[in-house]
Amino acid sequence: MKRVLVIEDSSLFRDYLRLKLQESGVKVFAVANPMEAVAKMKNLTPELIILNNIADQKSYMELLKQKKNDANTTKIPVVIMAQSIEQKMLLDLLPYNVKKVFAKPIKVDNFFTAISEILDVNFKIDKSPGIVEVRANDNIIFIEIAQGLNSDKLEILRFKIRELMSLYKIRVPKVLVMLSDIKLNEYDISNIVKLFDAIFQGSSVQPFNVCILSNDDLIRSFIIENKEYSEMKVVTNLMYAMEILIPGTDKDYEGSTEIIGRKLLKARERKEKEEMLLKFEAEGNDDHSDFINNVMPNLRIAVIDDDFVTLELIKNIFKKTGATVNAFMDGEEFLIAIDAWDFDLAFLDINMPRVNGFQVLQALQTRSIKYPIVVLSAISQQDAIVKAIQMGVKSYLTKPLKPEEIFYKSIEILKANF
């Protein structure tokens, strides 16, 4: 039986890799970080090491050096999953028998094809078209599926939903499934069941809190004909779906800059205490501590908002992590700077003078700039949120902003594996 050592800080992703590899008779040993892996590597001498370099470079390079200097482990091949790939990184890894380096988010079919070639083990891989994007906003799990229902990506979906549920501590979830450009037929029924199983197993959501956005007649008839799904809603309009999942939007909601500012300034004396509590809670979670301590200090984050209070709030949240935050008071100022800076993440307000958020999104698309964007909008601006989603934005936050939501949204986006 082939043995694989998986070094991955996400417990849910470790569970997924263990499940997938064991289906093909591969024995999996999983640890959370490179330091734990040293003894395992020497005792087991696995046929492959899969390493997620979310931990700091010093730790995983030390692991690779110890592997190279031990005659029993030096020839073990390594596959690395990296947040980003630079030419210097590839050159540094050449002496350590690193066979593949995958930039995240990883294409699952390419990933398992490479592992199959290294281990000489056949994995059952669904190579049919399919894109699955998953995000959490306002306690709603957004699932966007395009091109087709790929069974492997639907299997990952269950683990991704659990990860988001845990990250945001969602107790009463709602789910919106957006089936884009998909025409289903009777051969897709088994994957439709797999999709719904992933949703219910991952979130424990009640069927009446699930909304399916689709024009496909097969999905509608399938839901109607199956009692366990009959309370799910099928709609053809994204705005209507949002109104179902976020009912009772108050157009006079206290979302103005002045009111938010007064509330934040009034609570200024509690800010330091809240930041310390947030930092403690986040670092107490083994799945995120390495990321916070070792990856966040190297991040460059942009905040584009004409509200000074919002700019200061986001800057203060990331100050203790060591991340570099560049603040821009309007969209025009940001667009001037994007040629000089390469950002890992951007928070973008929709309503700004001169150049608004939608114009910024359009400019980024024109220049083929694709780093993650989190749209900031008042809860009463539901039509703006819908428009942003239609323009390809996957994540949004509604004002007034909560520090923990901003922090966890960053972790969600930047830790995405697949």
Is 260 a residue whose pLDDT tops 60? no
Has residue 81 been placed in a domain? yes
- In degrees and rounded to multiples of 5, residue 365 shows phi and psi of -65, -40
Could you tell me which of 196, 194, 183 has the C-alpha nearest to residue 148? 183
Any idea which of 16-20, 32-36, 158-162 has the lowest mean pLDDT?
Answer: 32-36
CA distances to 245, 340, 355, 397 from 401, in Å: 20, 29, 22, 7
Model pLDDT, residue 305: 95
Is 251 a residue whose pLDDT tops 60? no
CATH of the domain at 385: 3.40.50.2300
pLDDT digits (tens, 9 = 90+) for 279-328: 434 444 555 666 676 677 778 999 999 999 899 999 988 888 888 999 99
Q: Looking at the structure, tell me whether residues 27 and 75 fall in a common domain.
A: yes
Rounded to two decimals, the pTM is: 0.79
Has residue 251 been placed in a domain? no
Has residue 124 been placed in a domain? no
Q: Looking at the structure, tell me whether residues 150 and 75 fall in a common domain.
A: no
Region label for 80, one of left (φ > 0), alpha (ψ between -120 and 50) or beta (otherwise): beta
Any idea which of 60-64, 98-102, 113-117, 256-260 has the lowest mean pLDDT?
Answer: 256-260
Has residue 317 been placed in a domain? yes
Q: Looking at the structure, tell me whether residues 76 and 23 fall in a common domain.
A: yes
Q: Looking at the structure, tell me whether residues 407 and 270 fall in a common domain.
A: yes
> Which residue, of 119, 142, 169, is where some domain finishes?
119
Any idea which of 131-145, 369-383, 385-399 has the lowest mean pLDDT?
Answer: 369-383
pLDDT digits (tens, 9 = 90+) for 346-358: 999 998 988 999 9
Q: Looking at the structure, tell me whether residues 25 and 96 fall in a common domain.
A: yes
Q: Are 315 and 326 in contact (CB under 8 A)?
A: no
Q: Looking at the structure, tell me whether residues 214 and 289 fall in a common domain.
A: no
The one-character DSSP state at 208 is G
Q: Looking at the structure, tell me whether residues 335 and 374 fall in a common domain.
A: yes
- As a whole number, the mean pLDDT across the chain is 84
d(CA 83, CA 62): 19
Which one of 188-192, 259-263, 265-269 scores highest in mean pLDDT?
188-192
Specify which residues 320 forms β-bridges with.
none
How many domains does the chain divide into? 3
Give me the domain span that covers residue 153: 131-245
Burial of residue 339 (number of CB atoms within 10 Å: 0-12, 13-18, 19+): exposed
Q: Looking at the structure, tell me whether residues 410 and 261 fall in a common domain.
A: yes
Q: Looking at the structure, tell me whether residues 233 and 310 fall in a common domain.
A: no
Model pLDDT, residue 358: 94
> Which residue, of 86, 119, 152, is where some domain finishes?
119
d(CA 412, CA 287): 11
Has residue 126 been placed in a domain? no
> Which residue, of 95, 119, 143, is where some domain finishes?
119
The one-character DSSP state at 191 is H
Q: How many Cβ atoms from other residues are within 10 Å of residue 168's Cβ?
A: 20
Q: Looking at the structure, tell me whether residues 198 and 330 fall in a common domain.
A: no
Has residue 250 been placed in a domain? no
Burial of residue 366 (number of CB atoms within 10 Å: 0-12, 13-18, 19+): exposed
Model pLDDT, residue 362: 94
